[in-house]
Amino acid sequence: MPGAKRLQPVRREPAAVAIARRLTDAIMDGTLAPGTQLGEVELAAELGVSRGPLREAMQRLVQQGIAHSEPHRGVFVTTLTEDDVRDIYLARTAVESAACRLILRRDPQGTADRLAAVQRAMAKAARRGDPTALSAADTELHQVLVEESGSPRLKRMAQTLFVETRMCITALQDKYPVPDVMVDEHAAIIQAIRDADEELLLRLVDDHMQDAVRRLTERPEEAVPEVPPRPEAVSG
């Protein structure tokens, strides 16, 4: 029909890309735990794929650093150390701070609105006591933040960092930030974007990342013990 809007052809992605995404999701949610060997025969049977694209997908994970290859042994899911955690959040601070600067020069109000929608989902997950939904909303909010920068290179750099972050959180779930603290920290970041306060925004992003590092690397003996309330004096 002349002048009518035409539908675009459906694009089929390479099998290796789809397999790599499936494996990445399994690594992020802990189905494939740190140190797990990615056996070609077992995974090919489980996923219903041939070993050629599976091998290519595994190589993609190795290139991203979320898996590693050991000669004569095979490919294994990477186990992240405390130094890795610190490095991941250092890199995220750099990427997301750069994204924030770009956002303030583009459309801070529109970005704040989009982030606020995700933050509301995060608050609902916190009220329900749903850590899985909370973690997903947390990741989505930071993904939106980077995407709103308009920089494809920042987005590419952030992708692997977000996967590694989810690996950290899944492995150290008991140290995940207190839900209410997470919700409040993100609300403050969004408000700083809305106010176009660059100095405050960058400080909040840095504090947010440093707080996550402290929580994920803190040893039990380093935790500050709760001080019991002092008994009130009994008169008489």
Q: 95, 87 in Cβ contact below 8 A?
A: no
Task: Using alpha carbons, list the distances in angstroms from residue 174 to 30, 44, 48, 139.
Answer: 14, 33, 34, 18
Q: What are phi and psi of 46, to 5 degrees?
A: -70, -40
- pLDDT per residue as tens digits for the range 9-33: 545 778 999 999 999 999 988 899 9
Per-residue exposure over 182-220, b if at least 16 CB sit within 10 Å of its own CB, e if not: bbebbbebbebbbeeebeebbebbeebbeebbebbbeee
232 falls in which pLDDT band (50, 70, 90)? very low
pLDDT per residue over 35-71, tens digit each? Answer: 999 999 999 999 999 999 999 999 999 999 999 999 9
Using pLDDT thresholds of 50, 70 and 90, give the confidence band for residue 227.
Answer: very low
Can you tell me the distance from the alpha carbon of 18 to that of 53, in angstroms, rounded to the nearest whole number?
9
pTM above 0.85, yes or no: no
- 7 alpha-carbon distance from chain centroid: 34
Sole residue written with tokens 């290519």: 56
pLDDT band per the 50, 70, 90 thresholds, residue 5: low
pLDDT tens digits, 153-192: 999 999 999 999 988 877 666 555 567 888 999 999 999 9
What is the average pLDDT score of the chain? 87
Q: What is the 3-state secondary structure (H, E, C) of 146-176?
A: HHCCCCHHHHHHHHHHHHHHHHHHHHCHHHC
d(CA 84, CA 102): 27
The DSSP result for the chain, as a single string, is: -TTPPPPPPPPPPPHHHHHHHHHHHHHHTTSS-TT-B--HHHHHHHHT--HHHHHHHHHHHHHHTSEEEETTTEEEEPPP-HHHHHHHHHHHHHHHHHHHHHHHTS-HHHHHHHHHHHHHHHHHHHHHT-HHHHHHHHHHHHHHHHHTTT-HHHHHHHHHHHHHHHHHHHHTGGGSPPHHHHHHHHHHHHHHHHTT-HHHHHHHHHHHHHHHHHHHH--GGGSPPPPPPPPPPPP-
